[in-house]
Chains A and B, each alone.
Chain A
Amino acid sequence: MIRIWTLMVVLTMAGVAAAQEARPLAENPQVEARLKVLAVELRCLVCQNQTLADSNAPLAEDLRREVREMIAKNMSDQDIINFLVERYGDFVLYRPPLRATTTVLWIGPFLLLAVAGTVLIMALRRRQKTLPDVVVSDADHERVVQLLSDGAKHP
């Protein structure tokens, strides 16, 4: 009986001893912090549309490990990106690099804003000219004031 009690106590103690602060999956927190920054800009190549940071796919895990290794080798972010682009193409980057083929993509929105702004200003100017000038005489103005105050008195 005592033996069973002892066993139970020991087992409970073991359970308590095992309960501890959970270990981060990553062995090196600094590496992990850099990986996190990089991984949100990289595409998981086999997923439908997920970043490397968000994906649980095995291939994403492999790629994350590779990036970790590169970080551990002290490669700069740019070196790592260059390496990945060389291997997988621009497809791996969620921020498309500025190239001849992507000029329209990057310039487009702001060009459009400039064009729309210019057209808007020109259209408003033209409109201002074509609108007939309504001359409000002092007498008209007084009449309006009169009418408005009347309205206020007799709702």
Chain B
Amino acid sequence: MIPEIGHFALILALCVAAVQGTVPIFGAASGNASFMAVAKPAARGQFLLVLIAFCCLGYAFADKDFSVLYVAANANSKLPLHYRLAAIWGAHEGSLLLWTFILTLWMMAVTLFSKHLPDAMRARILGVMGLVSLGFLLFMLTVSNPFERLIPAAPDGRDLNPLLQDPGMVMHPPMLYMGYVGFSVAFAFAIAALLGGNLDAAWARWSRPWTTVAWCFLTVGIALGSGWAYYELGWGGWWFWDPVENASFMPWLAGTALIHSLAVTDKRGGFKVWTVLLAILAFSLSLLGTFLVRSGVLTSVHAFATDPKRGLFILVFLAVVIGGSLLLYAWRAPRVGLGGGFDPVSREAMLLVNNVLLVVAMASVLLGTLYPLFLDALGLGKISVGPPYFDTVFVPLMTPALFLMGIGPLAQWKKASLPDLALRLRWAFGVSVATAVLLPVVLGKWTPLLSLGLLLALWIVTTAVVNIRERLTRLEGAGLVNRLASIPRSYWGMILAHCGIAVFIVGVTMVKGFETEQDVRMNVGDHATIGGYTFQFDGAKDLVGPNYIAARGTFRVTKDGHDVTVMYPEKRRYMVQSQTMTEAAIDSGLLRDLYVSLGEPLEAGAWSVRLYHKPFIDWIWGGCLIMAVGGVLAITDRRYRLAWRREQEVPVAASQPVEASIV
């Protein structure tokens, strides 16, 4: 009964989406206020309906209702409750439901925080989001229904893929989808502006915070995924340039470009046409990512089902969304006026160059990801495109972008002077170069890449310091505290996010340069030393988990005779799918991680063991987190808070002139 309610809620949501996707847009075009007013209740209603559907599926999992095909395929009576709930997005059908649910969540947010928008604009935005939702609901109800019954019911379920039975599964997909789907708001803003023909600074100002929020979620989502791969896959890698990782990285690159381009449109009125294109691109890549991952075109742990009907629907849907918006763009964009002029040396120009580099980098990732598929489809042979390719291509593209990242925030808008910049940055440059050359020598190993990585990281940090100092000296008078407080949060957000990149680069550089590993066979009592730490193997014991059995090793770690920690790596065998999993033991620290994973049992209680010493690896995820915090800081800027407060004071019914209600 409950699954049928969920199914029915989805059908109703489809009907509401159809109304939401057409009536308000038509109303906005014809100036009919009552048609436009449909958008808000429709969006809220849709949110409620999809929420009901989502809860129904959750209930079916919690209740172990194995008469639902999807539940039977992805859960088991022995699977703990939190993983049963996370199993909602454990496969194709459910993840699409999650996607749609998050889309309606964003819609709900738009209805709550859009009182300052002109009615027509809001109607168009919600209308566009309704159309996207319509596509997804149609997809679910025709070829990918999570509520499909299995009659007769299965006695027990096939269980969730053991790889996914991890706390990472609870957080990573929702975060990632919040990011992916969040770009639909920026996309809807862009399409609405194209439809209304009012691409102006106000449009950029409105869509900026939405884009930044989505970007923060995506950043955290990707970092979580990477961290999960690091400890779950058992070989200590954190990024593999796997097609699935790339699918999430491409919208991130486009979104990063979009954030910067929006800043120019907001502040200087420039780049409008380019910004709109980026908004369309970022969301298109999110869609492409979702479908690439979920369609089974790419073979990986994330791909679930291969069904030609689904593939066809996906292809048509992508063609309609991407093709349609690009057509609209081609039709409308040429009418958009130019913004203020700027010199080849100016902050605008540098941001533009950075944008181009980011987009080219994104295109390279796309090329590398899809190339093997195309070659295979054309019958030209099978090839693999892996980390060596992406490293070769990505590093030279990103290096100038990171270098510009240091200069851009210091350059003046409109017209900057190179000699002046050089003068202001000479210390930052000198310090960075000297440290980058000498530090690796001090640490005992010098490679060009090591120096390059450190140089870029130091450059970003030192230029940020110069930037803050200049900003403080410009605010004469007042005490330091007052001066610090008078700097807007969006500025701190920018500085922090950039420093996050620097922290990230330090992590990548140090771990690539200095990580050490050992493959050893250890008898009980044997010890091995790596990175100054001595690991003593105290044997492995059998262990019974809720739905697996495991061998659990005990390693006592000492350094210079002092106890450091005891580590318990496991080798698990999940019963239902009879799959073996390596659960590495990790001791995390600010400056290093120790990582132990059990290989195979050898004779007489001995095991093959992999030991890693990974310096600075947590800086990789720390950097991502700092970036996201920077983004959060930027959107809590005073002007957004003021706008929000003013919004609370505006009576809902009053339709004020736009200019008056924004900062």
Binding site for B on A (CB under 8 A): 15-16, 18-26, 32, 40-41, 43, 48-51, 53-54, 56, 89-96, 101-102, 104-105, 108-109, 112-113, 116-117, 120, 124, 127-128, 130-131
Contacts and interface: CB of A to CB of B under 8 A. Distances in A.
A21 B242 CA distance: 37
Given A21-B527, A113-B397, A94 B384 contact: yes
B384 A93 contact: yes
Contacts of A101: 375, 380-381, 383
Contacts of A116: 356, 359-360
B364 A90 contact: no
Interface string B430-474: 000000000000000000000000000000000000000000000
Contact of B388 (A41, A53, A124): A41
A101 B341 CA distance: 43
Given A18-B524, A105-B368, 7 more contacts: A21-B528, A50-B240, A105-B389, A109-B360, A113-B356, A120-B356, A127-B341
B521 A22 contact: yes
B404 interface: no
Interface residues of B, number: 59
A18 B523 contact: yes
A127 B522 contact: no
B520 A109 contact: no
A43 B386 CA distance: 9
B295 interface: no
Nearest to A117: B356
Contacts of A51: 386-387
B145 interface: no
Contacts of B393: 109
B520 A22 contact: yes
Contacts of A32: 519
Contact of B338 (A15, A21, A130): A130
B231 to A, nearest CB: 14
Contacts of A89: 381-382
Contacts, number: 139
Given A25-B608, A109-B364, A43 B384 contact: yes
B520 A25 contact: yes
Contact of A112 (B233, B360, B600, B608): B360
A69 B129 CA distance: 60
Contact of B240 (A18, A25, A49): A49
Nearest to A101: B380
Interface string B558-602: 000000000000000000000000100000000000000001100
B507 interface: no
A99 B608 CA distance: 40
A91 B234 contact: no
B658 interface: no
25 contacts: A19-B523, A19-B525, A19-B536, A21-B528, A21-B529, A22-B521, A22-B522, A22-B523, A22-B528, A41-B386, A43-B386, A48-B301, A53-B235, A54-B237, A90-B382, A90-B384, A101-B375, A109-B361, A109-B363, A113-B397, A116-B359, A120-B353, A120-B356, A124-B349, A130-B338
B367 A20 contact: no
Interface in B316-347: 338, 341, 344
B371 interface: yes
Contact of B387 (A19, A94, A109): A94
Contacts of A22: 520-523, 526-528, 537, 609
Contacts of B524: 18
B235 A54 contact: yes
Interface in B203-256: 233-235, 237, 240, 242-243
A24 to B, nearest CB: 5
A48 B386 contact: no
A50 B301 CA distance: 11
Nearest to A32: B519
B201 interface: no
B338 A105 contact: no
Contact of B367 (A48, A109, A120, A131): A109
A18 B521 CA distance: 13
Interface string B508-535: 0000000000111111111111000000
Nearest to A54: B235
A69 B600 CA distance: 22
A116 B400 CA distance: 15
A112 B363 contact: yes
A130 B340 CA distance: 11
Contacts of B526: 19-22
A50 B380 CA distance: 23
B518 A24 contact: yes
A154 B381 CA distance: 74
B227 to A, nearest CB: 17
Contact of A96 (B384, B519, B609): B384
